[in-house]
Structure 1
Amino acid sequence: MKRLPLLVLLFAAFGARAQSPRPVVTARVEPDSVMIGDRFDYIIEVEKDLVQVVRFPVFQPGENPGALVLVEEAPVDTLLREGRRMKLRKRYRMAVFEEGHHDFGTAEVFYADKNIVDTLRSENDLTLNVTTFQIDSTSQSIYDLKPQRALPFRLGEIRGYLLWGLLAAIGLALLAAGVLCWLRRRGSTLGGLFAAAPALPPHVEAIRALEELHNRKLWQNNRHKQYYSGLTDILRTYIARRWEIGAMEMTSDEIIAAMRSIELPDKARADLTTILRDADLVKFAKATPDAGQNEADYLKAYYFVEETKPATEQAEETPDNR
């Protein structure tokens, strides 16, 4: 029984040796006095055992708005490592925008070792002195902004621009004179260069429009309504220009009635009526013509224009058989 106290003392001494010493935290600011808005370094150093875990503080944006601002945070740096001991450093680049003496208190580091979780603090308090510019209004007078000063104008400043502008004007004048001489030799005028191209005859415009419509292959892609709308619009435009009838604003029945007073070949009149009736069925009754009817209505429109174009145009296109 006398040996029990001795065993307790031995176990206590072994436990004290097994437990690592607590980390040592030191902190400082460099420099400790700055001008307002200048940057400084907030430095925390921890000397600890290899197995001990420490976590440096995290400065969140907006914690102290208007005064302390975190500019840059450097990664943790290892300064020393000897056996199981190591020394770490964490550097924060900061700025202060309020004048005065700032007391940051002690630096805090989170610490964990086996079953121990604690917060370690540095021994010294961190302070920073922030100064600003001192304006002595007694020795320095404050004046208003001076008005803009008008400098004298010098011809040499724009002489080069004037010379090049004069040469360009002479060149343009010579070019214009050359164009006028060329036009006079050809018996033309300057206005003739910018005259609008003469309008195509109604039948030429209609034939070109029909050929373009045919090349679009609308009904081949089941777009029958667009096909017949284009076909009738071409005929309406042709009738309006050829006989000066307001066909664009008329219904099919009104167009047929208006064309009764026009001298037309019987086949052309019948073809026009057929095209307009077929188009109304497609556009308003949702009829779907077959391929033969689509091609037949196109040919009827084509030959209607050919058979009703002005007689002078037909005579010019007819070859001389004498």
Structure 2
Amino acid sequence: MRGFLFFLFSLFFFSGFAQEGMVKAEIDTTNIRIGEQFQLKISVDETQNVIIPKLRLNGLEVIDSTKVDTLKNSLIRRYILTGFDSGAFYIPQQQIFVKNRAYFTDSLLVNVATVAIDTTKVKKFPIKSIKKEPYTFDDFKIYFYILLAALAIIGFWIYWFVIRKRKEEIEAPTYRTLPPYEEAILRLSELDEKLLWQNNKVKEYYSELTEIVRGYIERELNVPALENTTDEVLEMIRDFKKSDTIQTSQDTLDKLRSLLREADLVKFAKSKPLALEIEEDRKDAQEIVSNLKPKPIIEENDELE
């Protein structure tokens, strides 16, 4: 009976000893100064099914930690700790699970001491006055917005009363209206430079050519030649000829009739005159402009003279 009890006691004793030796916590120093760092190492004599929970501390702080290292048949994890308050602090027992069984490390005592300051070697400085806060944009933004508004008003005033007025003066037309004859000759020259009929644009060429001639007649004789038909224009010219109010020849009137009717055929009947005929019509147009003029008005004083 005594032997059996001794066996049970021995079994319990060695089992407890094995449990205590399964996990271990060590620190590299027990005394530090405020802010100094020291290392805590937790070792587990097992590599399978091991859980190391988050470190629980009182008065100390974790600065950094390493991953779990495997060394032979053990797991090791290291922590870098420090303290910012003076005093004695315990690292409490840490609960570690090995194969779903809880094991506890020993608690460890760490003394955190203040740093002694030798006041005899510290340089003394005079008491400084209260330092004012630096200026920020918010302190001046109201003045900034007022300045922007003032600049906008001044800019608008300058544009409206100076620049715009000067621009209008510059853009004011400075050309003079050409007399009917000079305008017609100029437009005929510009028509020649376009090379319309040479590029198979005969219809456009005759439209512009007769428009020049009609425009000359309208301005020179003060009749709506641009709005009337060919027959109406020819009728007005015959009336002027009968009333002896224009200065021209019958040959010029015949050329005018021929030019206008040829243009109507090209525009409405899709007639295609030859190049020689087109050049002849161009000469006739200039001759019409040169020879079709109103008779000058002779005043009574001029007749008496």
**Same fold at TM > 0.5:** no
Scaled to the shorter chain, the TM-score interval is 0.3 to 0.5
TM-score, normalised on structure 2?
A: 0.40
